[in-house]
């Protein structure tokens, strides 16, 4: 098993795969780590973070990859203010849960009656209490439905993707494709290899149809900022929370199709649209042997506190 891997998350691609593989994933505050050289999706939300076997391993990797990068200057300069003097390793504390205020928003997840995941989550909550955490249960995130269904994230992401991918491909020294147009044409010419008949390329085609950062995209950005400010940030500050905690089961949709118990979690999108950090840690396995996780999320720059909680 590899000791270290890196993931890129726009909306779920560190926290989710970590859950599926029963390992630890750290989604840093956007800009804390450089995205230079990484295939982009949406620069407003893209962030690079470690996926490792333990929290300690992930934190040690995080210490190495954070910091200013002139090739991703705007984002890394802004976020560098969050990097603590002495790094993140100092927050690996055995008693880190003591006194931490953790919020539970029940609507952030859906559990089928009798689910092994739901039972295990409640057991883990009791463990958190025993370790000194203060749990505030049944909190409300008033705009969660709008965040999940009407944030404008998908439209903004498509426009960002086209521009960012074109720039990335044009900067490559050697590449058979130099634009999203080239990628689409390549896929059409190699349908069998790329399995276009099976999977299609609708995301590429949707992005290709966009026309830059127009008024609609800017409006979507403002809407996501508003939703984050009036939703998650307000919840955290009003309740003086150090983090929110929720179960995370990346395979829940597959389980639901098969009629199996599972959990569907929009919490990842809450963190994604605001550029907030999160840490996913192993929490067990469901009835079918599918791993599930507990995810801790916080405000921008709250990695030190999240590390104390997760460790």
Query: What is the set of domains in the chain, with CATH numbers?
Result: 4-139+240-310 (3.90.1300.10), 144-238 (no CATH)
Between helix 303-310 and helix 55-65 the angle, nearest 10°, is 160
Phi, psi of 171 (to 5 degrees): -85, -10
**Residue 256, pLDDT score:** 41
Locus of tokens 């460790």: 311
**Residue 110, pLDDT score:** 56
Q: What is the mean pLDDT of residues 267-277?
A: 94
The predicted-structure confidence for 102-123, as pLDDT tens digits, reads as follows 999 887 765 554 578 888 899 9
161 vs 248 pLDDT, higher one: 161
Write down the pTM of the prediction: 0.92
Helix (H, G, I), strand (E, B) or coil at 306: helix
Q: What is the mean pLDDT of residues 140-156?
A: 93
Under the banding of pLDDT at 50, 70 and 90, the label for residue 247 is confident
Task: Judge whether 47 and 85 are in contact, CB under 8 Å.
Answer: no
Cα separations in angstroms, 38 against 35, 44, 143, 147, 168: 5, 14, 32, 27, 8
CA distance 269 to 11: 6
The predicted-structure confidence for 73-86, as pLDDT tens digits, reads as follows 999 999 999 999 99
Under the banding of pLDDT at 50, 70 and 90, the label for residue 211 is very high
Between helix 153-171 and helix 215-227 the angle, nearest 10°, is 120
**Residue 114, pLDDT score:** 57
Sheet strands (E) in 79-223 = 101-103, 110-111, 134-136
The overall average pLDDT reported for the chain is: 92
H/E segment holding residue 293: strand 291-297
Q: What is the mean pLDDT of residues 209-235?
A: 97
The predicted-structure confidence for 183-205, as pLDDT tens digits, reads as follows 999 999 999 999 999 999 999 99
Task: Judge whether 274 and 232 are in contact, CB under 8 Å.
Answer: yes
Burial class of residue 197, CB neighbours in 10 A (0-12, 13-18, 19+): exposed
Rg (CA), the chain: 20
């Amino acid at each position: 098993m590899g000791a270290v891997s890196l993931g890129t998350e726009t909306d779920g691609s560190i926290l989710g795969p970590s859950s599926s593989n029963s390992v630890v994933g750290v989604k840093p505050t956007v800009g804390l780590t450089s995205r230079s050289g990484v295939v982009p999706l949406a620069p407003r939300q893209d962030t690079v973070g470690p996926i490792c076997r333990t929290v300690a391993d992930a934190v040690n990797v995080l210490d190495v990859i954070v910091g200013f990068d002139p090739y991703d200057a705007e984002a890394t300069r802004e976020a560098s203010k969050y990097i603590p003097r002495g790094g993140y390793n100092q927050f690996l504390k055995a008693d880190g849960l003591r006194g931490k205020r953790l919020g539970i928003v029940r609507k952030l997840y859906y559990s089928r009656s009798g689910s092994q995941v739901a039972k295990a989550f409640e057991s883990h909550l009791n463990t958190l209490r025993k370790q000194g955490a203060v749990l505030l249960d049944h909190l409300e995130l008033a705009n969660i439905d709008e965040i999940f269904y009407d944030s404008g994230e998908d439209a903004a992401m498509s426009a960002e993707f086209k521009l960012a991918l074109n720039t990335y491909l044009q900067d490559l020294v050697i590449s058979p494709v130099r634009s999203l147009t080239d990628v689409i044409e390549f896929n059409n010419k190699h349908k069998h290899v790329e399995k276009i008949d099976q999977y299609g390329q609708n995301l590429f085609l949707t992005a290709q149809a966009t026309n830059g950062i127009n008024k609609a995209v800017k409006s979507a950005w403002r809407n996501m900022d508003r939703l984050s400010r009036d939703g998650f940030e307000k919840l955290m500050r009003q309740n003086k929370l150090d983090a929110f905690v929720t179960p995370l089961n990346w395979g829940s949709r597959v389980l639901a199709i098969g009629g199996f118990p599972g959990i569907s979690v929009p919490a990842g999108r809450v963190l994604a649209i605001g550029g907030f950090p999160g840490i996913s840690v192993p929490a067990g396995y469901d009835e079918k042997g599918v791993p599930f996780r507990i995810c801790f999320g916080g405000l921008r720059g709250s990695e030190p506190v999240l590390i104390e909680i997760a460790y």
